[in-house]
């Protein structure tokens, strides 16, 4: 059971990190070269689709990493679980206000405020990318030690 939890934690964190890093380093930078209306129009469905993939991965990574630690994998698995799990409250407390403003009905998609919000979102998303990458690297390292 321990090995299964370790594999699932590492896989979940790796998939989350891969998606988050792709968004931060590829998808969002492409948005920044589009006009503001096109960037905001593309951002909304991308954000909604990514949410349904990334939220479960973060929760699975948190739960399986914590179980791996509890089942005898050691304290490092609990640290990794906290790292990947922390993207959820960070999303709600730090990133969600920007998301909600970008999704406001009637938002002027051509405005400089919309551009500033998109730029801010890109910076905030780097937090998720970094935390998930740290969790994945820690989980992968811990697995290589066993």
> pLDDT value at position 81?
98
Give the domain ranges of the chain: 2-144
Q: Residue 146 pLDDT more than 80?
A: no
Look at residue 80 and give its three-state secondary structure.
helix
CA atoms within 13 A on the CB side of 67: 16
Look at residue 129 and tell me whether its pLDDT is greater than 90.
Answer: yes
Q: Which pair of tokens denotes residue 110? A: 């051509």
Q: Do residues 44 and 31 lie in contact, with contact meaning Cβ atoms separated by under 8 Å?
A: no
Q: How many CA atoms lie within 13 A of 13 on its CB side?
A: 34
Q: In 3D, which of 82, 88, 69 has the Cα closest to residue 20?
A: 88
Mean predicted confidence (pLDDT) in 59-78: 97
State yes or no: pLDDT of 48 exceeds 80: yes
Separation between Cα atoms, residue 24 and residue 30, nearest integer Å: 10
pLDDT digits (tens, 9 = 90+) for 2-35: 999 999 999 999 999 999 999 999 999 999 999 9
Res. 98: pLDDT tops 90: yes
pLDDT in tens, 117-127: 999 999 999 99
Residue 98 has what DSSP assignment? H
* Predicted local distance difference test score (pLDDT) of residue 145: 86
Give the position of tokens 């990794």: 80
Taking residues 96-120, report their average pLDDT: 97
Mean of the pLDDT values across residues 72-77?
A: 96
């Amino acid at each position: 059971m321990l090995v299964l939890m370790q594999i699932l934690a590492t896989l979940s964190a790796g998939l989350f990190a891969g998606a988050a890093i792709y968004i931060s380093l590829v998808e969002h930078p492409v948005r920044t070269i589009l006009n503001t209306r096109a960037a905001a129009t593309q951002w909304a469905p991308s954000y909604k689709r990514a949410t349904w993939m990334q939220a479960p991965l973060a929760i699975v990574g948190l739960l399986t990493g914590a179980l791996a630690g509890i089942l005898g994998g050691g304290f490092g698995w609990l640290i990794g679980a906290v790292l990947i799990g922390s993207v959820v409250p960070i999303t709600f407390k730090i990133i969600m206000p920007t998301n909600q403003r970008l999704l406001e009905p009637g938002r002027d998609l051509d405005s400089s405020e919309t551009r500033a919000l998109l730029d801010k979102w890109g910076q905030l998303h780097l937090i998720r990318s970094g935390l998930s990458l740290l969790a994945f690297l820690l989980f992968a390292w811990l697995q290589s030690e066993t």
